[in-house]
Structure 1
Amino acid sequence: MKHLPILIALSAFIGACQKGPTAWDGPVMSSPRSQLTVDELLQGKPQPLMDMSFFARPDWAEDSAAAPFSGILSLAASPLVFPKEKAYYPGEDRFPRISLSFVASQGQLIPGRKDRMDTRQQSDSYWDVIPGAGRVWREKGDGAWSRASFPLTLTDRWVGQARNCVATFVYGQDSVSQVCLQCSQETADIDDRQLGNIRAVLPASFQPMPLPDSAAVVSRHLEEEEGRLPVRPLGEAPGSEALAAYFGQMGYTSAPTSLGAVMLDSTLFLHPPKTRHGLFPYPEEMRHGLYSVTKSMAGALSLFYFAERYGPGLLEEPVSRYVAALAGRGGWEGVTFRHLLDMTTGTAGGEGAAQLFAPLIAAETAEEAIHNIAALGDAPPLPGQQFNYASTNSFVLSYALQRYVESREGEGVHYWELVREHVLNPIGAPHFTVLHTLEADASAAIPILAYGALPTLDEAAKIGLLLANGGQHAGEQLLHRETVLEALDPAAWEGFATGGDYRGGAYQHSFWSKEVAGQDCRFRVSYMLGFGENYVAFLPGKTLLFRFMDEHDLNIEELARRAEGMRSFCP
């Protein structure tokens, strides 16, 4: 893997006894501002870590006084101040050179693109970029200058961590200051010592111009805002105190929970979006690297959709019919799409370096990965007999789905684009992002599906709600109902016993489950689970629980019991 030669597999946990980035107790924004002044931004003065309130529009600002802003903001490749416990991966301490289009409207700073931006061609940085919508405003004492800030996610190309950053600058009619960037929260690999604060001052230039589709960009953004699920503070939900206290517990860092929320009756109740330097100014734009949650949120979602589109017989199709590299491999004989989803392929695989890092993470292209997986060898169990969790199965699912869809729809039709068009767009999650293979021709890339989902809360909640509703949205059946119920309803199917796996007692179509002893009864919880202990949990009564973090708090029982204070889960 030429771009990341020193990337290692999951290493031993560094231990809770080591001290991570500490809590912030410095000043917060007040009038007049004491940091990020116009002069400091114009001079490109290096900035210390500071409270996130300095990057946000203050209550006393005036949106209407902000100057118009429309055009291309270009950021130069620059060094990042990123204290770490271990050596940098190549380019990890570099911000990429990138150009971002923006248009300001009604006090908002709206990016022309909200999808993941691949920086490989113009930069040697480790990071790709996902911009979000921010704000523009004026402050007393800034003279003729207006201010802007916007959220920005930095994500790697190999496993899909997410660095939650905010950038800010001042601007005039045809010029901008340098841009100050700070990243004080992340979902990353604590075992690989990736947690830590990032800051930088980025040289910037501005090309003022009307965006050719600016009216459509603004209209689309406003429509997406209008379509978001309602969000209320968690403290407004009766009985939420115990759950809020759990979300607020300290861990390796002072802000272990990147996101905590509960959905009750299609309303999200959100725990304050804490970072190590105050509240994140744009929680609705915050993206989260969820690792193996991807298997359920993207992998199962895709197969459930195609089971509805083509019929449930798809699940029984032999995989080797569509994956030439596996044809004639004894261990893959008889393996179906269903076996891939259930982790019961009976093939060699696992989560160690030899089964995961070398064949999949270290591979760049889909063909390289699938040939690596084919070479892993055979295992004794026959397909469908024994649960064996292996991320390589999820990638084989992606590869096979692509070939299957092409056999039905024609060469060059991408299955993920069909999922986007027929599932994600209708539910209002058009920008839901998943990690793809690294192809020379980016249009040939396919999702990994084993890891790499980067949802916002709204996207994750809409996908969760669609599943909780049996795959139905606005009266239309988007996913195959019976297969969704097999995944989430114990009355439909109990799933495969996991043999005492610490992550859960049963596994159904990429969802874990276990029984929880509640206050007055026992109830089952089904959940998506990702490395670092990222959860999307399905509780009785269509109650959804979200916790995104990276500090290994694997305790779904305690989370579920604390959520009982908000709603009874007994029949």
Structure 2
Amino acid sequence: MADIAEPVRAHALIDNSAFLPPADAQVAHEAFSGTLGIGEAPMFTIPVEFKSDQVLGKDPQLFPGVALSFVSIGDNLVPQTQDIIRNGSLGGGRSFWDIIVQPGKVWSEATDDGWSRASFPFSLMNSIEGETHNGVATFLYKGTQVSRIRYQILTQTSPFYVEDYFTASGALEAAYKPGKLLEEASIKATYETSQAVAEKILPWSELEKKFGKDKLAGFDSKIRPAEIVLDGLSIDDSFYLKSCPTPVGELPFCDRQRFGVWSVTKSAGNTAAMLAIAEKYGPEIFDTRLVDYITEARDAPGWKDVTFGDALNMATGMGNGSDKATPAAISDPLGKAYYAWYEARTTKDKIDALLKGAKPYPWGPGKVARYRDEDMFLLGVAMTRYLQSKEGPAANVWDFLKREVYQPIGISYAPINKTIEADPKQDQPLMAYGFYPTIGDLIKIARLYQNGGKFQGRQIFNAQRLADLMPAKQAVGLATGNPEKPEYYKAFWRSSYKAASGCTFSFPIMDGWGENYVLLLPKDVTVFRLAKNWDGDAGAGELGNMTAVAGRLKDLCD
């Protein structure tokens, strides 16, 4: 047979259209059901050499060795799991990378001599980090045979330990084991449920037709174009995608791709969980002391009076920065103590590292914001233990969040990075970062906040604890020292909008490393921008530009 990887040059990215069904595609000759076994293989990257060829003892230029199982449902190729498939974060293998696989397509083409084609999007990531390196793969299959898997990695959100912005390509040898998957009926049922409530992604051109190009001028104009991963705007319950760019065309399956959004996790995860717990078990969770559940901290200086709400506000009164409260400076240094916590693999080791690494500030809890991933993680552990006191020893904050929040609003899959325990059932979600949503997931979460925490008549978030988080005439939260995002409150940054009419208000922002933004504006208007802005220099004027466009489309002050 003709190999799908030939005659492609080893280092070449090709147009993304080669990974998608063409206009004259025909139905696949046969269904697909089985497992692809892939061995580690060198990736042909640009740049050819990375700043470091070893990261935490692993090679970031090796594609991971993994087993990927799929079943076709109609013309969709559905993975057995959309959770993280660990490889690089575990002991075996030389590759640095873990992987998440998303649904793709199956089809056939007249010139393929009876073979069928399949393609699927994927994300390389690592379980201690928070970015994704998004790509697409394709292969031929017939009976018990498959071709090599041709793939390319096209874009990424902002990196941390692997500093390089890179693209990659290659062809992977695959061993195919056909056969019905375990829980195939459940896989199909979950996928069909997710598709029934999937967000419709409309092109930006439709928004231009509706409002005119002039009103949309200047949206996302400050950031370098090459740093944009995805941008768009939701208005009147419709989302309009402006771009999902790569060097060789729009990112395939942009609506299905999962993106590493870093600290957007804090507001999409921690705040959502706290508000749902407050609704189910009572709003006093915000005033509950952490040490009632983090017993390891009971004898540690500074923690005695810290509440769950203080941790959500980044105001534990603990840290390693300046002991001067003014002028406001939310940044807490990323020193040796931070990296010891960051690299710790288990819940115990992370708690030990953060308790050892933080000192009490003189002002105590609740007074001054200092940005600490460690405290957001600790809050997640505290919520897990609180839920165990209510629901039994198997309870976990992420399982609660999926059951009580995400699934009711139509989010069927919610992968997040977790600690790596001897018993995987004890893995604790990192909560400070590590959530991998689709754009549709972010739309649904944003809409729940904007609808007062209510979905189809059911109150999911506690309305009392949500009310002071949403757009308000006055400033809300603790000072950050950032002129464009001057307050921080309940895991949201806050900015201000000023209309031509003179009206002003404060509004919340889901914000993640690399200038990932979800702006929650009044009138159910939401602005989305995922990016890889390492320098952090694309926020200042950009917030004003994006909100100005939103204000031209709807009177946000009325």
Shift of 1:269: 1.1
Quote the residue 1:330 is aligned against: 301
Count, aligned residues: 532
Whether 1:96 aligns to 2:64 is: yes
Quote the residue 2:489 is aligned against: 508
**The one of 64, 83, 87 aligned to 2:52:** 87
The question of whether the paired residues in 1 share the 8 Å contact of 2:4 and 2:149 is answered with: no
Partner of 1:540, secondary structure, is coil
- Cα distance in 1 for partners of 2:519, 2:505 equals 13
Whether 1:520 aligns to 2:484 is: no
TM-score normalised per structure 1: 0.88
5 Å-filtered alignment, 1:297-312, equals 297-312=268-283
Shift of 1:244: 6.0
Partner of 1:330, secondary structure, is coil
- C-alpha RMSD over aligned residues: 2.3
Shift of 1:262: 1.3
Whether 1:139 aligns to 2:109 is: yes
Partner of 2:523, secondary structure, is helix
AA aligned opposite 1:397: L
- Cα distance in 2 for partners of 1:116, 1:201 equals 22
Whether 1:413 aligns to 2:395 is: yes
AA aligned opposite 2:283: P
- Cα distance in 2 for partners of 1:44, 1:123 equals 28
- Cα distance in 1 for partners of 2:144, 2:92 equals 25
Whether 1:546 aligns to 2:528 is: yes
Quote the residue 1:20 is aligned against: none
Shift of 1:258: 1.1
Quote the residue 1:565 is aligned against: 552
Distance 1:69 1:191, change over 3 A: closer
Q: Which runs of 4+ in 1 moved over 4 A?
A: 42-45, 242-252
- Cα distance in 2 for partners of 1:503, 1:383 equals 25
Shift of 1:251: 5.5
Whether 1:317 aligns to 2:275 is: no
Partner of 2:422, secondary structure, is coil
Quote the residue 2:328 is aligned against: none
Quote the residue 1:188 is aligned against: 158
- Cα distance in 2 for partners of 1:314, 1:248 equals 38
The question of whether the paired residues in 1 share the 8 Å contact of 2:32 and 2:71 is answered with: yes
- Cα distance in 1 for partners of 2:543, 2:161 equals 21
The question of whether the paired residues in 1 share the 8 Å contact of 2:60 and 2:162 is answered with: no
- Cα distance in 2 for partners of 1:230, 1:356 equals 44
Whether 1:274 aligns to 2:245 is: yes
The question of whether the paired residues in 2 share the 8 Å contact of 1:164 and 1:186 is answered with: yes
Partner of 1:189, secondary structure, is coil
Partner of 1:381, secondary structure, is coil
Whether 1:173 aligns to 2:143 is: yes
Distance 1:562 1:437, change over 3 A: same
The question of whether the paired residues in 1 share the 8 Å contact of 2:314 and 2:371 is answered with: yes
AA aligned opposite 1:79: P
Quote the residue 1:117 is aligned against: 85
Shift of 1:566: 2.1
**The one of 473, 482, 502 aligned to 2:464:** 482
- Cα distance in 2 for partners of 1:366, 1:229 equals 35
- Cα distance in 2 for partners of 1:174, 1:150 equals 19
Quote the residue 2:354 is aligned against: 373
1:480-536 CA-to-partner distances (Å, cap 9, x unmatched) read 111111221426x84323152245112221111122223333333321111111001
- Cα distance in 2 for partners of 1:114, 1:514 equals 34
Identity %: 27
Whether 1:262 aligns to 2:233 is: yes
Partner of 1:136, secondary structure, is strand
Shift of 1:161: 0.7
1:118-176 CA-to-partner distances (Å, cap 9, x unmatched) read 22365332111111111111112211221111111111122211111101111111100
Shift of 1:431: 1.0
The question of whether the paired residues in 1 share the 8 Å contact of 2:471 and 2:522 is answered with: no
AA aligned opposite 1:92: P
The question of whether the paired residues in 2 share the 8 Å contact of 1:45 and 1:201 is answered with: no
Partner of 1:263, secondary structure, is strand
Q: Which runs of 5+ in 2 are unaligned?
A: 321-330
5 Å-filtered alignment, 1:62-461, equals 62-63=26-27, 65-84=28-47, 85-88=50-53, 89=55, 90-119=58-87, 120=90, 123-189=93-159, 193-237=163-207, 238-239=210-211, 241=213, 246=218, 255-349=226-320, 350-354=331-335, 357-375=338-356, 376-461=358-443
